[in-house]
Amino acid sequence: MMGKFIIAPALFLSGISGVQAADVVVQEPVPKYNWSGLYVGAEAGYAWGKSTYDEPDFSTAYNMYYDPKGGFGGIYFGYNWQFENNLVLGGEADFYGGDIKGRSDYYIDHVPIGVGEVWGDAKLRWAGSVRARLGYAVDRFLPYVAGGVAFGQLKFGHMDTSANWEDGWDRSETHTGWTIGGGLEYAFTENLIGRLEYRYTDFGKRTIPLDYEKDLPTTHVSLKTNDVRLGIAYKF
């Protein structure tokens, strides 16, 4: 009789344990996001910069300070390689254009002359870059830095309407320089990746020889820009 009282609770407890064991669900670990692969994207942003025009052939300083700014849009594409230590290396190229432009008075010895009558303007018609990227993957987040070669075409000119007649000229020159920046990417899905990026670009200084047909002096033109951009890409 005593044996029955001992066996019954044991069976009851055993049954409870069996039910609890059956309720335990073994969950597979969620794999981390892998950043390796080819991607193509579209971007939009806002840029502001410094662009200086000067005529070094003369002892007197003749200058304009265009300082273009404005919005732009473009495309980018690249490839990432993710390593076991979560480092991500990549290469990327981009191309963009927009309404990045500015206007300047004409300065002699750093004093503006003919304000409203003698002036110049400039516009960054298009630009692009080829960059290397280095990032550290935190699952679906990827903070990164990037840098490389930059190039762009700047159209600039000068206009004089002070004598009741218009006398002006403009030129387009392609600049080559360098760019550096950084940003943060986030993988919304396995294929859709968004980004926020800041970039500084020095397009360099172009020396443009004397143009005898237009009676223009040798000029130096430089351009440096800062920009903030948003992008969305598809990873294959």
Provide the CATH number for the domain around residue 62: 2.40.160.20
- Does residue 21 form part of some domain? no
- Does residue 79 form part of some domain? yes
CA distance 151 to 131: 12
- Does residue 14 form part of some domain? no
Domain that holds residue 54: 36-235
Give 64-76 pLDDT, tens digit per residue.
898 999 999 999 9
- Does residue 6 form part of some domain? no
- Does residue 44 form part of some domain? yes
- The pLDDT value given to residue 30: 63
CB 208 within 8 A of CB 221: yes
What is this structure's pTM? 0.81
DSSP letter at 32 equals P
- The pLDDT value given to residue 130: 98
Closest Cα to residue 145, out of 202, 72, 224, 198?
198
- The pLDDT value given to residue 84: 94
Q: Could you give the number of structural domains in the chain?
A: 1
CA distance 94 to 83: 24
- Does residue 110 form part of some domain? yes
Both tokens of 225, joined, read 């820009």
Q: How many CB atoms lie within 10 A of CB 231?
A: 21
DSSP string, 164-196: SS-EEEEEEEEEEEEEEEEEEEEESSSSEEEEE
Residue ranges, the chain, pLDDT below 70: 1-30, 163-167, 210-217
End-to-end CA distance of the chain: 73
CB 119 within 8 A of CB 105: yes
- The pLDDT value given to residue 160: 79
In degrees, rounded to 5, the angle at the alpha carbon of residue 183 between the alpha carbons of residues 179 and 187 is 135
- Does residue 146 form part of some domain? yes
- The pLDDT value given to residue 28: 61
DSSP letter at 216 equals B
For the chain, percent of residues with pLDDT exceeding 90 = 56
- Does residue 28 form part of some domain? no
For the range 167-170, what are the long-range contacts, defined as Cβ-Cβ under 8 Å and sequence gap of 24 or more?
A: 169/214, 169/216
